[in-house]
């Protein structure tokens, strides 16, 4: 018998191994950006075409590479950061296993240009399917440029599993934001199909957070900082009023590396336990500095899941730190601006205010104009008009026992029904009308019992089917705003709106781009209350991002579900009888009236015979 086990060719083995590291364009973006940071760059450019499917290029002004290093860096497990196994537990850089460039070269066409400051010329290398096609000298600036073209060109099956450009672009932006957030002292730019989406100047961490997540966070950030011999925790958390109903603005960094940790996230949530509803998520950007000996970052190919040698200590420390910071933010707020140096040199600041100057000021007419006797709000003690205010209050205030107000005329009471038949008819009419329970449920009478309807879930189902029909048939009517509203968004949200713009317009939103990250809202769907345009669109974006993360649906389905959930009648809204009846009629006219788009029951029925059993009437 012949032997059946054999070694795989290097190019096939590399393609299989690359699947652990490079899963989509965003994976390559992460690895290339981290390599640029490790190279000591201060300015990093990310250039994309077709959400990275056609091109991912990273240009940096870092240290560059020699000709030998440029050739060797594409070999698997080639690294400059590990010499022995002990080095693995003292790593503070981002990339260290030597897998990134080798994985990229296995599944894409790669071009490298690099030069060190001490070299007269640089090195140019072309690699395709892990094989070097060309190597020659090139004139290049100090630093490195790596271009990854036609991702998965040699693995068509994997390329077919890539999502739409909008979906892949969201993943790319997420990775870009995580690296840019980690290093606010570096300049980052992101250009997609010739349009610049991000231009992040060097600055403080707070400036970086605001420039990425939006200016509306500028006054809603609370500084967090605690230093100990074991670990340091610093960064910012959001005030409770900045919390959102969906996740997205939560960032943990350990030694400047973005991580995911449900355990530490729970520590943050418990710190907010008495300040937020259970379905709200606060903003936080927290950096944890700890000795690498206490952390294992090599447990996952993407290095986003790590292990601590003592998670309980870290949990308690983060929880206590955030509680302390939140307790202080409204007690001793700080002014967040730099004083103009010119102001500090004025004589009013540098010279004391002498007694002679005080007397001269208080004797002037300007001072007397603003003295107590001349203030507009001053009320003299003997003001006769308000002398008997207490008596007036006692006349208007109700008595504790609920009797008539003294001094107030009594209202005529309604005439009582004249007979038993009139009383019975009135009660029957009231009994058949729908009734709202705790501004959450609607109780509707039927012949065999009654329905209990969840008003939010029911309206969500109604809107979902309405929006779905509008996408399939004709566009929804738009309610034009009397005064167009300008909407400023974070760069990531602006990119998402641009991708969704055609479908949003078909669903009744009249939006137009108005400069970078700004849109003009000229109209909204007719069923959205006027004056609520900004909240409607921002809520829609949050719901869309949440549904994209939780469910694998196509873009239109996600958009329709997000709009339905965002615009549905909220819990706590008071409805009159006509509104409740219309809701019931529209619900049971739906194709699938019994469940919401998210799978929750819209109503529960109670039959009379079931009620009889509950009250044990059958036993009598």
Mean pLDDT across 58-75: 90
Q: What integer pLDDT is reported at residue 88 of this predicted model?
A: 52
pLDDT at 408 exceeding the cut of 50: no
CATH T-level assignment (fold) for domain 10-200: Heat Shock Protein 90 (3.30.565)
Could you list the beta-strand ranges (E) of 339-495.
Answer: 435-437, 441-446, 449-454, 478-488
Instruction: Provide the whole-model pTM.
Output: 0.65
Query: What does the buried/exposed string (b/e) look like for 200-228 if buried means 16 or more CB atoms within 10 Å of the residue's CB?
Result: beeeebbebbbbbbbeebeebbbebeeee
Minimum mean pLDDT among 190-199, 406-415, 464-473: which range?
A: 406-415
The per-residue pLDDT of the chain, averaged, comes to: 77
| Residue 536 banded pLDDT, cuts 50, 70, 90 | confident
pLDDT at 618 exceeding the cut of 60: no
Residue ranges, comma separated, of all CATH 3.30.565.10 domains in the chain are 10-200
Question: Distance between CA atoms of 533 and 522, rounded to whole angstroms?
Answer: 9
Question: Distance between CA atoms of 444 and 299, rounded to whole angstroms?
Answer: 56
| Percent of the chain at pLDDT exceeding 70 | 71
Q: What integer pLDDT is reported at residue 112 of this predicted model?
A: 93
Domain boundaries 205-328, corresponding CATH code: 3.30.230.10
**CATH says 451-604 is which class?**
alpha beta
pLDDT at 15 exceeding the cut of 70: no
CA angle 459, 463, 464 (to 5 degrees): 115
Which position has the higher pLDDT, 26 or 349?
26
Residue ranges, comma separated, of all CATH 3.30.1370.100 domains in the chain are 451-604
Minimum mean pLDDT among 387-391, 484-488, 609-613: which range?
A: 387-391
Question: Distance between CA atoms of 391 and 405, rounded to whole angstroms?
Answer: 13
Q: What integer pLDDT is reported at residue 414 of this predicted model?
A: 44
The three-state DSSP-derived secondary structure of 572-617 is CCCCCHHHHHHHHHHHCCCCCCCECCCCCECEEEEEHHHHHHHCCH
pLDDT tens-place string over residues 124-134? 999 988 888 99
488 DSSP β-pair partners: 518
Which position has the higher pLDDT, 207 or 404?
207
Q: How many CA atoms lie within 13 A of 481 on its CB side?
A: 21
pLDDT at 386 exceeding the cut of 50: no
pLDDT tens-place string over residues 445-472? 877 788 889 999 999 899 888 888 877 7
Mean pLDDT across 320-330: 82
pLDDT at 605 exceeding the cut of 70: yes
Which position has the higher pLDDT, 303 or 598?
598
Mean pLDDT across 550-579: 76
Q: What integer pLDDT is reported at residue 372 of this predicted model?
A: 52
Question: Distance between CA atoms of 472 and 198, rounded to whole angstroms?
Answer: 35
pLDDT at 361 exceeding the cut of 50: yes
Which position has the higher pLDDT, 104 or 396?
104
Q: What integer pLDDT is reported at residue 363 of this predicted model?
A: 63
| Residue 344 banded pLDDT, cuts 50, 70, 90 | very low
pLDDT at 390 exceeding the cut of 70: no
Q: Look at residues 268, 229, 225, 228 and name the one whose alpha carbon lies nearest to residue 247.
A: 268
């Amino acid at each position: 018998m012949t032997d059946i086990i054999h070694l795989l060719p290097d190019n096939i083995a590399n393609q299989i191994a690359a699947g652990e590291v490079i899963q989509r364009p965003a994976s390559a973006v992460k690895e290339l950006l981290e390599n640029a940071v490790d190279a000591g760059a201060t300015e990093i450019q990310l250039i994309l075409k077709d959400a990275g499917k056609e091109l991912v290029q990273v240009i940096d002004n870092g240290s560059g590479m020699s000709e030998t290093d440029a050739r060797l860096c594409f070999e698997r497990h080639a690294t400059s950061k590990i010499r022995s196994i002990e080095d693995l537990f003292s790593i503070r850089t981002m990339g260290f296993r030597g897998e990134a460039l080798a994985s990229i070269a296995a599944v894409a066409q790669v071009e490298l240009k690099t030069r060190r400051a001490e070299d007269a010329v640089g090195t140019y290398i072309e690699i395709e399917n892990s094989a070097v096609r060309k190597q020659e000298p090139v004139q290049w600036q100090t630093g490195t440029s790596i271009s990854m073209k036609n991702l998965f060109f040699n693995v068509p099956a994997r390329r077919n599993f890539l999502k739409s450009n909008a979906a892949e672009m969201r993943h790319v932006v997420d990775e870009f934001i995580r690296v840019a957030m980690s290093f606010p002292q570096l300049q980052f730019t992101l250009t997609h199909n010739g349009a610049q989406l991000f231009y992040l100047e060097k600055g403080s961490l707070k400036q970086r957070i605001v420039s990425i997540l939006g200016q509306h966070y500028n006054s809603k950030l609370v500084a967090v900082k605690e230093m100990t011999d074991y670990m340091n925790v610093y960064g910012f958390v959001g005030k409770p009023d900045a919390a959102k109903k969906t996740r997205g603005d939560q960032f943990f960094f350990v030694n400047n590396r973005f991580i995911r940790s449900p355990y530490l996230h729970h520590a943050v949530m418990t710190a907010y336990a008495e300040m937020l509803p259970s379905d709200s998520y606060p903003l936080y950007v927290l950096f944890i500095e700890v000795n690498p000996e206490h952390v294992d970052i090599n447990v996952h190919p993407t290095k986003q899941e790590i292990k601590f040698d003592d998670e309980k200590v870290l949990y308690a420390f983060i929880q206590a730190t955030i509680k302390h910071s939140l307790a202080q933010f409204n007690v001793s707020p700080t002014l967040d601006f730099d004083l103009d140096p010119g102001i500090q040199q004025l004589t009013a600041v540098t010279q004391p205010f002498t007694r002679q100057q005080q007397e001269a000021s208080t004797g002037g007419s300007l001072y007397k104009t603003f003295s107590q006797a001349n203030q507009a709000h001053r009320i003299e003690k003997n003001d006769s008009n308000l002398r008997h205010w207490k008596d007036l209050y006692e006349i208007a205030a109700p008595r504790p026992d609920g009797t008539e107000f003294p001094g107030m005329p009594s209202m005529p009471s309604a005439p009582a029904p004249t007979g038993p038949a009139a009383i019975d008819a009135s009660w029957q009419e009231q009994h058949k009308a729908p009734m709202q329970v705790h501004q959450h449920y609607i109780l509707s009478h039927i012949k065999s019992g009654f329905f209990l309807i969840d008003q939010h879930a029911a309206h969500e189902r109604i809107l979902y089917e309405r929006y779905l029909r509008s996408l399939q048939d004709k566009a929804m009517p738009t309610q034009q705003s009397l005064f167009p509203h300008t909407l400023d968004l974070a760069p990531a949200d602006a990119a998402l709106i641009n991708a969704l713009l055609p479908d949003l317009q078909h669903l009744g939103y009249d939006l137009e781009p108005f400069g970078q990250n700004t849109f003009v809202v000229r109209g909204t769907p007719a069923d959205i209350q006027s004056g609520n345009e900004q909240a409607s669109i921002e809520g829609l974006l949050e719901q869309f991002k949440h549904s994209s993360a939780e469910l694998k649906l196509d873009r239109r389905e996600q958009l329709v579900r997000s709009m339905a959930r965002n615009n549905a009648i909220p819990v706590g809204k008071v409805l009159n009888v006509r509104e409740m009846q219309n809701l019931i009629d529209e619900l049971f006219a739906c194709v699938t009236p019994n469940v919401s788009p998210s799978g929750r029951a819209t109503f529960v029925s109670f039959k009379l015979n079931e009620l009889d059993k509950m009250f044990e009437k059958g036993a009598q």
